[in-house]
């Protein structure tokens, strides 16, 4: 055949493929989500095989092992005791609460580790929602936006006082980035970054996560504040608003089913873009691998590469530690 152009020449050997590779995964791309609780022991999470709910001691150890493998950051998700949950989620800004103590322990043990905290009310709210719940005269459930934002600002300040490097609001309330930035700056925390869950969809892929935290809504759903999965342009609107309000980084959640959203967000902002490979994505891979239907390692790494290729600068993934080990082998 008379073919002057043969693309396969660029795929001929491992060395050539390495030279022309457009995207490369490294441990530095990953953020490891870590679950924690008050118990003295570490507990496997039934809804997420291979994932653990950590004691403070176990948390520090696990974070240290991941950091030694090159993972630069962790993000914390607490399981709060039922007797501490209230309609106004007061425990979320308790300076002696579980998350502030965890932040202090992590920063003391691993000073170079980046500690990110989730800012949202659902682990602390007796209603299980990301915001304050009220009923109108007809019994209709409403999530109050502005009242919620005031509490979120107190939560962010609590985390900043404990030493968090980045606060990450996942609530999807309107205006919370501007309010949080103003609150942090007013208290002298100008160097604490905000990683905003800018495009967080009302997704069925979150199911196993809510089991891990026991934080599912007691009534209703989250569709009045999390985004409709059918909408793409709305994600751009949310990202641009958060950028204008002072976000330092933006996030798309979930990741795998929303690669088009990640790509669109990457095109519209110069801010770093994060993507969260959520519990449902993780569980599907783990379940298929456990059944022997797929190569779990290969599928996990390929899924992470797809997220990076779509435009993510950083990936929140339960595979962070294992992926770092795989990449080193």
* Of residues 215 and 158, more confidently modeled: 158
**Tens-place pLDDT, residues 75-91:** 999 999 999 999 999 99
| 200 tagged catalytic | yes
Q: Looking at residue 120, what is its pLDDT?
A: 95
- Radius of gyration in angstroms for the set of CA atoms belonging to the chain, rounded to a whole number: 20
* Of residues 260 and 208, more confidently modeled: 260
Report whether pLDDT(213) > 80: no
Report whether pLDDT(310) > 80: yes
Mean pLDDT to the nearest integer, 301-326 = 98
Mean pLDDT of the residues in the chain? 95
Q: Looking at residue 214, what is its pLDDT?
A: 65
* Of residues 136 and 244, more confidently modeled: 244
Of 85, 253, 308, 321, catalytic: 253
Report whether pLDDT(232) > 90: yes
* Prediction pTM value: 0.95
Q: Looking at residue 288, what is its pLDDT?
A: 96
Counted domains in the chain:
1
Judge whether 216 lies within some domain: yes
Report whether pLDDT(93) > 90: yes
Q: Which of 112-126, 141-155, 196-210 has the lowest mean pLDDT?
A: 196-210
Asked if residue 150 belongs to a known ligand binding site, the reply is: no
Judge whether 4 lies within some domain: no
Beta strand 43-44 with 52-54: parallel, antiparallel or unpaired? antiparallel
Judge whether 18 lies within some domain: no
Q: Which of 88-97, 105-114, 132-141 has the lowest mean pLDDT?
A: 132-141
Go through 207-216 and write b for each residue having 16 or more CB atoms within 10 A of its CB, e for each that does not: ebbeebbebe
Q: Looking at residue 248, what is its pLDDT?
A: 98
Nearest alpha-carbon partner for 32 in 88, 90, 73: 73
Place 152 in a pLDDT band, splitting at 50, 70 and 90: very high
Report whether pLDDT(211) > 70: no
SS (H, E, C) the chain: CCCCCCHHHHHCCHHHHHHHCCCCCCHHHEEEEEEECCCCCCEECCCCCCCEEECHHHHHHHHHHHHHCCCCEEEEEECCCHHHCECCCHHHHCCCCHHHHHHHHHHHHCCCCEEEEEECCCCCECCCCCCEEEECCCCCEEEEHHHHHHHHHHHHHHHHHHCCCEEEECCCCCCHHHHHHHHHHHCCCCCCEEEEEEEEECCHHHHHHHHHHCCCCCCCCCCCCCECCCCCHHHHHHHHHHHHHCCCEEEEECCHHHHHHHHHHHHHCCCCEEEECCHHHHHHHHHHHHCCCCCHHHHHHHHHHHHHHHCCCEEECCCHHHHHHHHHC
Place 215 in a pLDDT band, splitting at 50, 70 and 90: low
**Tens-place pLDDT, residues 37-74:** 999 999 999 889 999 999 999 999 999 999 999 999 99
| 253 tagged catalytic | yes
Domain CATH number, residue 246? 3.20.20.70
Report whether pLDDT(95) > 90: yes
Q: Looking at residue 136, what is its pLDDT?
A: 81
Report whether pLDDT(210) > 70: no
Judge whether 11 lies within some domain: no
Report whether pLDDT(212) > 80: no
Q: Which of 132-146, 226-240, 281-295 has the lowest mean pLDDT?
A: 132-146
Place 141 in a pLDDT band, splitting at 50, 70 and 90: confident
Q: Which domain, by its residues, includes 303? A: 25-328
Judge whether 200 lies within some domain: yes
Q: Looking at residue 143, what is its pLDDT?
A: 92
Report whether pLDDT(263) > 70: yes
Of 200, 222, 308, 321, catalytic: 200
Q: Looking at residue 247, what is its pLDDT?
A: 98
């Amino acid at each position: 055949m008379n073919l002057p152009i043969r693309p396969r020449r660029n795929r001929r050997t491992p060395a050539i493929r390495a030279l022309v590779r457009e995207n490369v995964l490294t441990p530095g791309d990953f953020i490891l989500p870590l679950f924690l609780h008050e118990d003295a022991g570490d507990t496997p999470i039934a809804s997420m095989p291979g994932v653990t709910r950590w004691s403070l001691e176990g948390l520090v150890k696990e974070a240290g092992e991941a950091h030694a493998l090159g993972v630069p950051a962790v993000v914390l998700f607490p399981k709060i005791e039922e007797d501490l949950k209230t309609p106004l989620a007061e425990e979320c800004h308790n300076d002696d609460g579980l998350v502030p103590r965890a932040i202090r322990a992590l920063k003391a043990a691993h000073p170079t580790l980046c500690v990110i905290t989730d800012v949202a009310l659902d682990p602390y709210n007796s209603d299980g929602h990301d915001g304050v719940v009220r009923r109108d005269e007809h019994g209709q459930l409403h999530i109050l936006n502005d009242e919620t934002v005031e509490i979120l600002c107190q939560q962010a300040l609590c985390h900043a006082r404990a030493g968090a490097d980045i606060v990450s609001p996942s609530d999807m309330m309107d205006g919370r980035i501007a309010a949080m930035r103003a609150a942090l700056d007013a208290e002298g925390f100008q160097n604490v970054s905000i990683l905003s869950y800018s495009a967080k969809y009302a997704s069925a892929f979150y199911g196993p996560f809510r089991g891990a935290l026991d934080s599912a809504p007691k009534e209703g759903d989250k569709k009045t504040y999390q985004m409709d999965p059918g909408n793409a342009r709305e994600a751009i609107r949310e990202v641009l608003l958060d950028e204008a309000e002072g976000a330092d980084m933006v996030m798309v959640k979930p990741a795998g089913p929303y690669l088009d959203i990640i790509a669109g967000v990457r095109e519209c902002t110069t801010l770093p873009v994060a993507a969260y490979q959520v519990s449902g994505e993780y569980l599907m891979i783990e379940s298929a691998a456990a059944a022997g239907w797929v190569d779990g390692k290969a599928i996990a790494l390929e899924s992470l590469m797809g997220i990076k290729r779509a435009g993510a600068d950083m990936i929140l993934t339960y595979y962070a530690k294992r992926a770092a080990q795989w990449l080193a082998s």
